């Protein structure tokens, strides 16, 4: 029998041999490597009760005690990078350099969480009237549910949960059922760092478990990263059950290139940002929008040889540029998207279908695929394609490119390559996207800036990374206090509203 992957509850791994299971498949080989056990409502109820009690004590502990654990967790992440790389590769298919970059961004998020005492400081005003002082304080919201995607098995769970822990909450993490092992290891590292049992828990499951989490009265907040359809559902259902919800969803990120740009740099950036990790990134460049026909032709001539030189293969091959897509279902969906774009009139420049990797013939591989002359009525413009399929939309002006970018439903990121400051200023002011890059192909902010899209790329007011993460996981209490003199004469009775 394949290995069973269990939950992490109250400081230990729990495996229910009678529970529903789900296969874990290595996308590089197409072979099942383990079985994942699913949690039911009873398991969730038990975990919420444990997390509530443990979280209350943790939230009452000092800032110094909490930050010591966060610092130690950072050190353990660094020490266990190689082990995490292997887990990411086996379950996601991501090659080692890409996975190492992911872990680096995770560590950056932990480092910012070490500033939790600073970003959760309250306000104070003396003698607002009648000798009364007023101060505000940020306190933990309680038990938070974190639901994470397959494409970043370490970065998203770490960034999403570390600030929650740092400000005093307990966490129930539900990772993607495709990539569960790294998250279990993260829970074990938290325990090694000294986090009290019950503060960080991992439960595995599918939509049924998510619904239980959204409905459970003991969970105060929900943080989600994933597809737009699921994210919108989670936002509406979670808020309907009086939860604080931050839902980070899909992206269709446009890269506009002006005629004055460094076209060689732009072409390299498009290939790197568009096809890295088999394009399974919400911040990947999806569409290239050259301004002017000459710009388009020059870019195409630079891009095609770069794409043809890319090597696709298993995560264990140090020479590969990107690996497989995550599942057989994902591969079929991407192949269908390619066929549809052909049917809709897109010009297929490179076709990545039918790729076979020697020795790994059952892996879920697709080569780099590129369409030219994409139009706004095509699926490739309208929908996020989570695979190595990118498109070129030719435009005649910067204003046309901005209009096409803003007409899309998504507003995660948008990028402009130019040498002209006025063009950059117009672009950054007019584009409706949460993260904008100027000559930066993937404008993912550093850990001390807020991360989040606009329009249908995010639901709710929360952000990952940055100060807003601390605000999302805390609530404000405002205290008015007065300390009268011992011999102060009692004031006469008055029913008037005190305004002095």
**Backbone φ and ψ of 384, nearest 5°:** -75, 125
* Integer CA distances (angstroms), 399 to 31, 119, 259, 404, 424, in order: 49, 39, 14, 9, 12
CB neighbours of residue 18 within 10 Å:
6
CA distance 405 to 284: 15
Is the same domain home to 132 and 280?
no
Is the CB of residue 30 less than 8 Å from the CB of residue 362? Answer: yes
- Cβ(21)–Cβ(5) below 8 Å: no
Does 88 map to a domain? yes
Q: Does residue 491 sit within a domain? A: no
Q: What's the total number of domains in the chain? A: 2
Contact 220/243 with Cβ under 8 angstroms? yes
Instruction: Give the pTM.
Output: 0.91
Q: Show the CA angle centred on residue 215, arms to residues 211 and 219, nearest 5°.
A: 110
pLDDT score for 197:
97
What is residue 43's predicted lDDT score, i.e. its pLDDT?
96
114, 146, 282, 341: the catalytic one is 282
Is residue 30 domain-shared with residue 130, that is, in the same domain? Answer: yes
Residue 229 shares a structural domain with residue 82: yes
Residues 288 and 393 in one domain: yes
Q: Are residues 269 and 399 in the same domain?
A: yes
Question: For residue 72, what are the domain limits?
Answer: 3-249+457-479
Shared-domain flag, residues 17 and 112: yes
Residue 347 contacts residue 372 (beta carbons within 8 Å): yes
Each residue's pLDDT, cut to its tens digit, for the chain (500 residues) gives: 458 999 999 999 999 888 899 999 999 999 999 999 999 999 999 999 999 999 999 999 999 999 999 999 999 999 999 999 999 999 999 999 999 999 999 999 999 999 999 999 989 999 988 889 999 999 999 999 999 999 999 999 999 999 999 999 999 999 999 999 999 999 999 999 999 999 999 999 999 999 999 999 999 999 999 888 998 999 999 999 999 999 888 888 899 999 999 999 999 999 999 999 998 888 789 999 999 999 999 999 999 999 999 999 999 998 999 999 999 999 999 999 999 999 999 999 999 999 999 999 999 999 999 999 999 999 999 988 989 999 999 999 999 999 999 998 887 888 999 999 999 999 999 998 878 889 988 777 776 777 776 677 777 877 778 888 899 999 999 999 998 877 665 556 666 666 66
341 is catalytic: no
The CATH number assigned to the domain holding 234 equals 3.40.605.10
Tokens of 488: 């102060």
> Does residue 494 lie in a domain region?
no
In a domain, residue 461? The reply is yes
Token pair recorded at residue 214:
């959204």
Whether 484 is covered by a domain: the verdict is no
CATH number of residue 308's parent domain: 3.40.309.10
pLDDT at 490: 57
Q: For residues 149 and 166, state if they share a domain.
A: yes
- Farthest-apart Cα atoms in the chain, separation: 92
């Amino acid at each position: 029998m394949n290995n069973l992957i269990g939950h992490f509850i109250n400081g230990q791994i729990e495996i229910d041999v009678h529970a529903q299971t789900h296969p874990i498949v290595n996308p590089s080989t197409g072979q099942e490597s383990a079985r994942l056990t699913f949690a039911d409502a009873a398991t969730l109820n038990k975990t919420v009760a444990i997390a509530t009690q443990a979280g209350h004590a943790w939230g009452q502990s000092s800032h110094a005690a909490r930050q010591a654990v966060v610092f130690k967790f950072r050190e353990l992440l660094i020490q266990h990078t190689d082990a995490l790389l292997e887990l990411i590769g086996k379950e996601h298919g991501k090659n080692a350099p890409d996975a190492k970059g992911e872990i680096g961004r995770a560590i950056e998020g932990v480092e910012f969480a070490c500033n939790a005492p600073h970003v959760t400081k309250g306000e104070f005003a003396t003698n607002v009237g009648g000798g009364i002082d007023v101060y505000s304080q940020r306190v933990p919201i309680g038990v938070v549910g974190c639901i994470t995607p397959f494409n970043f098995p370490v970065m998203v769970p770490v960034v999403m949960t570390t600030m929650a822990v740092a400000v005093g909450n307990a966490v129930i993490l539900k990772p993607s059922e495709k990539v569960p092992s790294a998250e279990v290891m993260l829970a074990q590292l938290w325990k090694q760092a000294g986090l009290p049992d019950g503060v960080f828990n991992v439960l595995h499951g599918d939509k049924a478990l998510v619904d239980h989490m959204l409905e459970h009265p003991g969970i105060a907040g929900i943080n989600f990263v994933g597809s737009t359809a699921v994210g919108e559902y989670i936002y509406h259902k979670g808020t309907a059950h009086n939860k604080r919800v931050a839902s980070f969803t899909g992206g269709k990120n446009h890269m506009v290139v002006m005629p004055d740009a460094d076209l060689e740099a732009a072409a390299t950036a498009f290939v790197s940002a568009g096809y890295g990790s088999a394009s399974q990134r919400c911040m990947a460049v999806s569409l290239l929008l050259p301004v002017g026909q000459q710009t388009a032709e020059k870019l195409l001539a630079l891009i095609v040889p770069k794409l043809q030189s890319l090597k696709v293969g298993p995560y264990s091959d140090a020479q590969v540029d990107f690996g497989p897509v995550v599942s057989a279902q994902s591969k079929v969906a991407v192949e269908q998207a390619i066929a549809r774009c052909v049917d809709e009139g897109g010009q297929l420049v490179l076709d990545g279908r039918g790729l076979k990797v020697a020795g790994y013939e059952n892996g879920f591989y697709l080569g780099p695929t590129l369409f030219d002359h994409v139009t706004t009525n095509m699926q490739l413009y309208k929908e996020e394609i989570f695979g190595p399929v990118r498109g070129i939309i030719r435009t005649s002006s910067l204003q046309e490119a901005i209009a096409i970018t803003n007409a899309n439903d998504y507003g995660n990121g948008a990028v402009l390559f130019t040498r002209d400051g006025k063009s950059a200023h117009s672009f950054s002011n007019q584009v409706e996207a949460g993260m904008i890059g100027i000559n930066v192909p993937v404008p993912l902010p550093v850990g001390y800036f807020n991360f989040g899209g606009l329009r249908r790329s995010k639901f709710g007011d929360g952000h990952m990374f940055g100060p807003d993460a601390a605000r999302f996981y805390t609530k404000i209490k405002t205290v008015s206090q007065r300390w009268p003199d011992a011999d102060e004469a009692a004031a006469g009775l008055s029913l008037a509203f005190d305004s002095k």
